[in-house]
Amino acid sequence: MFLIKLYQGSGAAIASVVSETLVTIITFLYARKCLMIRIVKEELLKSSISCCFMGCVLLFVRTLEISSILLLFIEVILGTLIYFLLTLGLGHTFARELKRKIVRS
C-alpha cells in the first residue's frame, strides 16, 4: 500500500508485479511437492540468457524516435523473433519442439 501512496501508478504496477511473482513462486513450490516437478537448470539458464539479451535489444529500440504504435509493433515482432531464435540457437528443448511442429505443418 505504501508503494501506491508514494509512487502512484508506478507503485501500483510494482506492487502488482511483486505480488504476482510471489504467488507464482508459492504455487510452483506447492505444485512441485504434489506433482514431483523437476527443474532443468540448463533450460532455465538458456531461457534467462535469451530473455536478458532480448530485453537489452528492446531497451535500445525504445530509444528510437518513432510513433508509439509503430514502436509497439516493432517491439513485439522483434522481441518474439529474438527470443525464439536465441532459444533455438542455444538448443532449448521447447524451441526445438516448436520448430519441429511448425515445419511439420
pLDDT tens digit string along 10-33?
Answer: 888 888 999 999 999 999 888 888
For residue range 49-73, list pLDDT tens digits in order.
Answer: 999 999 999 999 999 899 999 999 9
Q: Examine the pLDDT at 85 and tell me if it is beyond 70.
A: yes
The three cell numbers locating residue 45: 539458464
> Does residue 58 contact residue 79 with C-beta atoms inside 8 Å?
yes
Interatomic CA distance for residues 71 and 63, integer angstroms? 10
- Residue 45 to residues 54, 79, 82, 93, 103, Cα–Cα distance (Å): 14, 18, 16, 12, 26
Annotated domain spans of the chain: 1-38, 40-105
